[in-house]
Amino acid sequence: MKSNLKDHKFILFVVDHYNPLGMARSLGEEGILPIVILHSDHPTLFNHCKYVQKLHQVSTIQEGYDLLLHEYGEEQFKPFVLTANDDITMFLDLHYNELIDKFYFFNGGKQGAISHYMNKENICNVAEECGIDKPRGEVLTRGEMPKMLRYPVLTKVIKSTEGAWKDDVFICRDESELKKAYKIIKANQLLVQEYIIKKNELCVDGISINEGAEIWAPFTSEYIRFTSKGYGHYMWIKPYADEVKNKIQNILKKTHYSGIFSLECLIDENDHLFFLEVNFRNSTWSYAYTFAGLNLPYQWAKATLEGHIDYNSVQVRTQPFTAMNEMGDLREGVLTKQVGFFKWMKQLKKCDVLYLYNKKDKAPFYYGVLGKVLNRLHL
């Protein structure tokens, strides 16, 4: 039966974070009020978002999955299910066979495909086949010393769903520092890579349909400030070279991916690209694309239903613009003294897009800040 996009329910299966909050706002600005299955104990954002049609709060991913099937598994029109963190995305991927006839969701064409490519070594090998270099690395068990790498090295979890994720990232300048890091690291298996001095990162968000046959990813995010072992929170978003787009599309074709994605590369001091990872889900920066005319959640659903991407359906911004995760940049920019408070306030006021504060949906910002303050005070 032929349907219109608004005949379908939109379900966000997410945690309480500004990343999926951007999806709710993006859909809401198109007149679509999503249902939210929220895996969070003490939410402060989604329970105050004006665009949420219905909120289900669950204690475990399994509980949320059971609710998804029970409440929405027999709809006349297949609902769209959107995710924004790796644990929930992987859970749905591992239930692909049960879900594929009932829902539209981000997938790699078969059960377990996304989970396979969440392994950083596996996806780095694909990227290398598609023409983007990867840092030299070895997959090691915690405590094992590299055999072929030169120091300094960088440790990272082999999958973001394992260990302590970003807290398992260490820059080690020699073997003794690596041994010290191993005493703190939680993950049993790691990808240890030769450390490359970072000039910046290239981060591309977009949509892919028909297993990579068509993609829409017109911008890259490059950071105005960042840390040596992490990404930044204040960025330029601008168009980038078609040559890189073609390599990105080839990666998505090889992984047979359909959905919203983000791809990250490191730019070294010689402006050479090194592949880092693909996030097979919505990413933290996607709401900025809505500001620029490309509403990723809406356009993915529209293209999925129509079977192709209508590149002429919207006018996408062509000029660079700035975006900021204001709370993250306050913490990592101002409190670490990368930038002075008054200079930061000027940058904040001039910024084109903010990820938490939104003049059309203010309450999540105020309750989110209040929640952080009370958490700090242990109240």
> Are residues 343 and 278 part of one domain?
yes
Rounded CA-CA distance 296/277 in Å is 19
Q: Which residues contact 192 (CB under 8 A, 6 or more apart)?
A: 137, 138, 139, 140, 146, 149, 153, 154, 155, 156, 178
Rounded CA-CA distance 155/276 in Å is 13
Whether residue 320 is preceded by a cis peptide bond, meaning omega within 30 degrees of 0, is no
> Are residues 354 and 318 part of one domain?
yes
- CB of 67 closer than 8 Å to CB of 58: yes
Q: What is the DSSP string of 179-248?
A: HHHHTT---SEEEEEE---EEEEEEEEEEEETTTTEEE---EEEEEE--TTS--SEEEEE---HHHHHHH
**DSSP bridge partners of 262:** 205, 279
pTM of this prediction? 0.93
Question: Given the structure tokens 């990413």, which residue do they identify?
Answer: 283
| Inside any domain, residue 114 | no
DSSP state of 6: G
Q: How many domains does the chain have?
A: 3
| Inside any domain, residue 122 | no
Domain ranges, residue 142: 137-194
> Are residues 209 and 171 part of one domain?
no
> Are residues 259 and 349 part of one domain?
yes
In this prediction, residue 377 carries a pLDDT of: 61
| Inside any domain, residue 70 | yes
DSSP state of 164: T
Selection from 161, 150, 159, 333 nearest residue 231 by Cα: 333
Q: How far is CA 340 from CA 197, 199, 335, 357, in A?
A: 25, 22, 9, 21
> Are residues 187 and 165 part of one domain?
yes
Query: Helices 242-255 and 120-129: crossing angle, nearest 10°?
Result: 130
At 303, list the tokens: 């293209």
Selection from 158, 154, 160 nearest residue 141 by Cα: 158
> Domain ends where: 107, 127, 157?
107
Strands, E assignment, 211-270: 214-216, 220-225, 234-238, 259-268
Selection from 170, 176, 174 nearest residue 157 by Cα: 170
In this prediction, residue 229 carries a pLDDT of: 72
> Are residues 203 and 322 part of one domain?
yes
> Are residues 145 and 95 part of one domain?
no
Whether residue 152 is preceded by a cis peptide bond, meaning omega within 30 degrees of 0, is yes
> Domain ends where: 169, 194, 219?
194
| Inside any domain, residue 218 | yes
Phi/psi for 92 (5° steps) reads -65, -40
> Are residues 142 and 52 part of one domain?
no
| Inside any domain, residue 83 | yes
In this prediction, residue 376 carries a pLDDT of: 66
Question: Given the structure tokens 């041994």, which residue do they identify?
Answer: 179
> Are residues 295 and 180 part of one domain?
no
Q: How far is CA 358 from CA 26, 40, 138, 172, 315, in A?
A: 11, 22, 43, 40, 22
| Inside any domain, residue 47 | yes
pLDDT, mean of each 10-residue run, the chain (379 residues): 84 97 98 97 95 98 98 97 97 98 98 96 96 94 94 92 86 95 94 93 96 96 85 92 91 98 95 95 95 97 97 94 95 92 96 97 93 66
* CATH code: domain of residue 174: 3.30.1490
Cβ neighbours of 317 (radius 10 Å): 19
- CB of 177 closer than 8 Å to CB of 158: no
* CATH code: domain of residue 36: 3.40.50.720
Rg (alpha carbons) of the chain, rounded to whole number: 20
- CB of 320 closer than 8 Å to CB of 237: yes
> Are residues 228 and 304 part of one domain?
yes
CA 43 to chain centroid, in Å, comes to 20
- CB of 281 closer than 8 Å to CB of 89: yes
3-class DSSP state of 190: strand
CA 204 to chain centroid, in Å, comes to 10
* CATH code: domain of residue 229: 3.30.470.20
Question: Given the structure tokens 């396979």, which residue do they identify?
Answer: 116
Selection from 97, 103, 54, 100 nearest residue 79 by Cα: 103
